[in-house]
């Protein structure tokens, strides 16, 4: 009896357990299905959004591809057109400047209209280059003055030789040929004795052979010219290129330079010429001056000098020296030999660009400059009084771009002549090289 | 007579020198620069132009303008022809 009751208890318990175990999973399944449905809906939504985004991306990609193809076509077209260098090619360059000058000396305070110097370059293949530069400026009397600075044909003979024919800037020294444009010149004007009215020849009419010859890693350059040469004038000798010669002797001039290393150039220059006495030109340009050939006693004009340039990093240091003498001009059998005249001019200049020394972009563009020079003549008192001076310049340049500069400068002119007062000038100049 | 002889001899020397290379200057400037020429040109541009003036940006000029401008500077600054071609190649490759 007792045993039967144990079996009944066990059966009851088994029934209870079974009933519990079957009823509980049915309840949990309902909950999971709901969650799954919810999750499914959520995933469907996400897929829908992703599909929309994918479509949008596809459309954007197509647009970008279209733009890229268009840009590439344009770039190819631009590159193709820019690569064209025609056999006859040309380039317009030059420079212009304006300025203001305040003076406590002989000159009044004044605005200066400055100069406009267009330069034309025409080239045929790699054979010949024609180049010409005009200088257009307003005179003190208000007239427009037009001068032909140079007009030359350059025959590219060889990698190391160019033959120049026509009117060209004198190769003597470095200032006139390479530094005088106002966007290159660090100061507002030429050093004393250089430029118009100075000792440095301005231009020449004739032939010049020039070029650069590498010597190992170093460079040697030469410029040798034969031309009409200088003439006698009111200020002694006029060193400009004349369209016709007044004597049959040709002037020989030139410059030889050497670069011991990349940043240092050392040059030597010379000019030797016969100069006829100043004569009244005939009215007709084609006529010779009305002085008989046998009466002319020509003078010997000889000039020589040297120059140096050191350009490294922020430094630009230059110096130039020229000396010339004229002997025997104007002498004749009655009065004997005329007195000799001599000239001497030199300058030294240093400029330092302040770029890279501070974080200021303004200071980066500043460049202090200092220059000192002298110009003296001997042999004629009037000439000495007019020309002899010491000149000291100190200035500060602001380079708005590599070829646009605003210059400010103080110039101290100390004249040798007792009757001339010293002159201090405050100068401003804006120059643009193009 | 002596003067005439001097002038004629000068012209003769010029002519003889010229005959070495006139017309034989290669038109290599038209070709695409090789990397070495580009590097040589960049170096020559930096050291040659700055001897007298600030260096303008390569993008200031078109290929044709650089072609003429570099020739102008070759004459003015006595730059050897091969160096001028390197500079031109560098500038033309850098102005795009």
Distances (CA, A) of A335 to A233, A299, A339: 20, 15, 11
Extract the tokens encoding A309. 């340039």
ipTM over 0.95: no
> Does residue B27 carry a pLDDT above 60?
no
Q: Show contacts of A10-18: CB within 8 Å, 24+ apart.
A: none
Contact (CB, 8 A) for A145 and A394: no
Q: Report pLDDT for B21.
A: 46
Residue B40 located in a structural domain: yes
- Whole-number mean pLDDT of chain A? 89
pLDDT digit string (tens) for B7-25? 555 555 555 455 444 444 4
Total domains present in chain B? 1
Q: Report pLDDT for A107.
A: 82
> Does residue A318 carry a pLDDT above 60?
yes
Residue B23 located in a structural domain: no
Cα–Cα distance, A94 to A433 (Å, whole number): 6
Residue B45 located in a structural domain: yes
Q: Which domain holds residue B95?
A: 33-96
Give A107 to chain B, closest Cα distance, Å: 31
Q: Report pLDDT for B25.
A: 45
pLDDT digit string (tens) for A236-247? 799 999 999 888
B8: closest chain A residue by CA: A226
pLDDT digit string (tens) for A264-280? 999 999 999 999 887 65
Cα–Cα distance, B85 to B28 (Å, whole number): 8
The topology under which CATH files domain A85-433 is: Porin (2.40.160)
pLDDT digit string (tens) for A394-414? 999 999 999 999 999 999 999
In chain A, what residues touch B63 (CB-CB under 8 Å)?
Answer: 82-85
Q: Report pLDDT for A14.
A: 67
> Does residue A28 carry a pLDDT above 90?
no
Distances (CA, A) of A286 to A230, A243, A281, A290, A295: 19, 11, 10, 12, 21
| A123 with B71: Cβ contact below 8 A | yes
Give B32 to chain A, closest Cα distance, Å: 10
Residue B23: which of A127, A154, A212 has the nearest Cβ? A127
Extract the tokens encoding B30. 């038209």
pTM for this prediction: 0.78
């Amino acid at each position: 009896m007792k045993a039967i009751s144990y079996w009944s208890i066990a059966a009851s318990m088994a029934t209870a357990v079974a009933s519990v175990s079957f009823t509980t999973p049915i309840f949990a399944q309902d909950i999971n299905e709901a969650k799954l449905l919810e999750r499914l809906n959520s995933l469907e939504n996400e897929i829908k959004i992703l599909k929309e985004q994918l479509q949008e991306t596809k459309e954007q990609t197509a647009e970008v591809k279209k733009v890229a193809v268009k840009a590439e076509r344009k770039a190819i077209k631009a590159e193709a057109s820019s690569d064209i260098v025609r056999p006859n090619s040309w380039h317009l360059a030059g420079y212009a400047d304006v300025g203001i000058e305040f003076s406590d000396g002989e000159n009044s305070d004044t605005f200066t209209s400055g100069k406009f110097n267009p330069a034309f370059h025409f080239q045929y293949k790699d054979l010949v280059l024609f180049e010409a530069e005009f200088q257009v400026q307003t005179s003190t009397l208000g007239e427009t003055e037009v001068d032909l600075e140079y007009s030359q044909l350059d025959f590219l003979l060889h990698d190391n030789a160019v033959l120049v024919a026509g009117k060209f800037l004198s190769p003597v020294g470095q200032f006139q040929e390479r530094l005088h444009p106002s966007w290159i010149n660090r100061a507002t004007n030429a050093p004393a004795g250089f430029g118009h009215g100075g000792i440095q020849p301005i231009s020449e009419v004739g032939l010049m052979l020039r070029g650069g010859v590498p010597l190992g890693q170093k460079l040697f350059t030469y410029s040798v010219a034969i031309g009409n040469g200088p003439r006698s004038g009111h200020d002694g000798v006029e060193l400009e290129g004349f369209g016709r010669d007044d004597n049959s002797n040709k002037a020989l001039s030139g410059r030889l330079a050497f670069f011991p290393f990349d940043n240092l150039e050392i040059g030597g220059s010379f000019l030797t010429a016969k100069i006829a006495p100043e004569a009244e030109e005939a009215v007709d340009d084609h006529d010779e001056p009305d002085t008989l050939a046998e009466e002319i006693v020509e003078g010997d004009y000889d000039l020589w000098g040297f120059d140096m340039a050191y350009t490294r990093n922020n430094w630009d240091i230059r110096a130039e020296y020229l000396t010339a003498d004229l002997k025997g001009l104007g002498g004749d059998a009655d009065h004997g030999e005329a007195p000799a005249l001599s000239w001497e001019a030199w300058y030294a200049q240093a400029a330092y660009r302040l770029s890279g020394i501070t974080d200021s972009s303004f200071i980066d563009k500043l460049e202090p400059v200092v220059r000192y020079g002298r110009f003296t003549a001997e042999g004629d008192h009037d000439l000495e009084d007019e020309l002899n001076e010491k000149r000291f310049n100190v200035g500060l340049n602001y380079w708005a771009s590599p070829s646009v500069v605003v210059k400010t400068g103080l110039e101290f002119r100390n004249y040798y002549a007792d009757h001339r007062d010293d002159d201090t000038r405050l100068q401003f100049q804006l120059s643009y090289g193009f | 007579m002596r003067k005439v002889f001097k002038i004629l001899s000068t012209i003769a020397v010029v002519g003889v020198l010229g005959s070495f290379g006139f017309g034989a200057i290669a038109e290599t400037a038209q070709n695409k620069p090789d990397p070495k020429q580009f590097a040589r040109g960049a170096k020559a541009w930096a050291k040659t132009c700055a001897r007298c003036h600030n260096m303008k940006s390569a993008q200031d000029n078109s290929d044709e303008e650089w072609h003429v401008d570099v020739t102008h500077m070759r004459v003015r600054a006595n730059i050897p022809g091969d160096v001028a071609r390197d500079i031109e190649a560098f500038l033309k490759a850098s102005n795009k």
